[in-house]
A = this chain, B = another copy of it.
């Protein structure tokens, strides 16, 4: 009989981020430059970091029934490239492990591969290997590699009080897609924002070359969740100005027709937009924004880093604490 001194704790009571901390505590630290807890692992190769991102998606939890096999392939590549983008990396390639139920059609595999290939080639990279295995539940694991000059690497750590907080693109478009699916509106263009996200590879590389970014991560689980993660890692807080949040025009248009949409929820919490959240030296913000705009991107100041560890959101003159309503696995 094994007597455990710990009470039995289920992962469902523990949550994903505690689980990651536990893993990090158990592991023997190697020579890795950046390890568990960042978007990517990073290995030193001469003047570069080799960036490595791995992400797994599974039916039920990540793959809505409406998603086509092509979109599943696109999605797994896109979310992995998004992690490379957040570090300023240039993609080198990806490997995919496919866990497929036995009764899936060969067409399913072919379409999934086409979607993955299309996303990879769109961002000037390719699928270079993989594994296919039987799995009772459809499960796809992607691992992406990238390179970034050590000097240009954007870490999740480095924010200082006074830094400007900014985001690329617009927030809430993926949320609009989710609302559209759940309410059987099924506007294809809107749903596409959710199911075919675009990694911010160009923006990431531009930002990293500016050498003004003090911390960066991609917003996969929602702005509020991402802010809480950055605050925790950097031992700081944030003051966010709600009227400055660049809400997706697609979400705003949908909200005109459907009065029941919770615009705040979809723009501040829902996630899925895969934009970049960053902190940046205030004196370098304007020139950096100019460079991003010149390349067709977008960069919006939404607040600043504070010494006080609270995460506040100012809605006109009302101050309140931003709730962490982002998605967390197991919970």
Contact = CB atoms under 8 A, between A and B. Distances in A.
A54 B134 CA distance: 15
Contact of A130 (B54, B59, B100, B103): B54
A162 interface: no
Given A27-B117, A126-B32, A136 B59 contact: yes
Chain multiplicity (copies): 2
A107 B56 contact: no
A20 B132 CA distance: 7
A135 B56 contact: yes
Contact of A56 (B20, B30, B61, B139): B139
B22 A106 contact: yes
A22 B54 contact: no
B30 A93 contact: yes
A93 B44 CA distance: 11
A328 to B, nearest CB: 10
B126 A29 contact: yes
Interface residues of A, number: 79
A96, A103, A130, most chain B CB atoms within 10 A: A130
A319 interface: no
A161 interface: no
Interface in A278-297: none
A330 B6 CA distance: 40
Interface in A6-57: 6, 8-12, 14, 16, 19-20, 22-23, 26-32, 35-36, 38, 40-41, 43, 45, 50, 52-57
Interface stretch (A108-116, A168-176, A211-219, A268-276): A108-116
A32 B145 CA distance: 12
Contacts of A132: 16, 19-20, 23, 329
Contacts of A135: 56, 58, 61, 137, 139
A60 interface: yes
Given A20-B132, A95-B143, 5 more contacts: A11-B106, A28-B117, A28-B120, A28-B126, A141-B141
